Structure 1
Amino acid sequence: MPESPAPAAARPTPSAPAELSAEDGKLVILARGARGRVGAVEGAAVRDQDGRTYAAASVSLPSLTLTALQLAVASAVAAGATRLEAAVVVTEASTLDGAGHAAVRDLAADAPIHLAAPDGTVLGTVVE
């Protein structure tokens, strides 16, 4: 019997924008830079438990597709991160992708995930 495809991950809707700390503001800059360098659909950045930051852009290849947030989380984990303090996604979308959200939640149940427009304006924050 063929397997049915896995259901699409929910797309969390951000609440009102949170006041960004200086550290979270840096994540917005890093995410915008990652997106802009390669003209990607999305850019993302995360900060781990030691204050180290990781930035990434979305990847879309015939054999591999990753959201920017998935790649940023994977980079952090590959460098030894065990917990995330915060994350930012820069995108034109109005909601956070479910796969990126799940990747962050694998390392932090309560880390804020800020959603920002390409100009850096924070549109909202997901905290659940």
Structure 2
Amino acid sequence: MPDTFALSAEDNKLVTLARSARARVGAAEGAAVRDQDGRTYAAATVALPSLAISALQLAVASAVASGATKIEAAAVVTSAVGLEEAGRAAVRDLAPSAPIHVANPTGTVHGTVTA
């Protein structure tokens, strides 16, 4: 992941929402996305015997289910080293170059994926 710069207030909000979603249910990951209208959607990883979906996939799905056609930015809070591919692909379905900020559980952003 490329080095990250200081985040805008709007992107910091995404990191905060992702942290809250993760902490609320004790999930492996939390994620948040912002759509073309500035609406935000937060989600946590779901790991059930019959359903597994990453936090970022679920946040994108929630946005699409609410009518979003574009993602402006996303954030993932995880203890993993990198960004999981399925979530990255879900964002890329709606935005080929929207920034995806990857942070650790304390909210420190380690990188931003733009491709």
Answer yes or no: same fold by TM over 0.5.
yes
Structure-to-structure mapping, 1:1-128, within 5 angstroms? 14-128=1-115
Secondary structure, counterpart of 1:31 in structure 2: helix
Aligned CA-pair RMSD: 0.5
Map Cα deviations across residues 66-113 of structure 1 (whole Å, 9 max, x no partner). 000000000000000000000000000111000000000000001000
Tell me the TM-score normalized by structure 1.
Answer: 0.89
Paired AA for residue 22 in structure 2: R
Q: Offset at 1:18?
A: 2.8
Tell me the TM-score normalized by structure 2.
Answer: 0.99
Secondary structure, counterpart of 1:105 in structure 2: helix
* Structure with greater proportional strand content: 2
For 2:111 and 2:100, locate their aligned partners in 1 and report how far apart those are by CA, in whole Å. 8
For 2:5 and 2:62, locate their aligned partners in 1 and report how far apart those are by CA, in whole Å. 25
Counting matched residue pairs gives 115
Specify every segment of 5 or more residues in structure 2 that has no aligned partner in the other structure, as ranges: none
Q: Offset at 1:17?
A: 1.6
Secondary structure, counterpart of 2:10 in structure 1: helix
Structure number, greater radius of gyration: 1
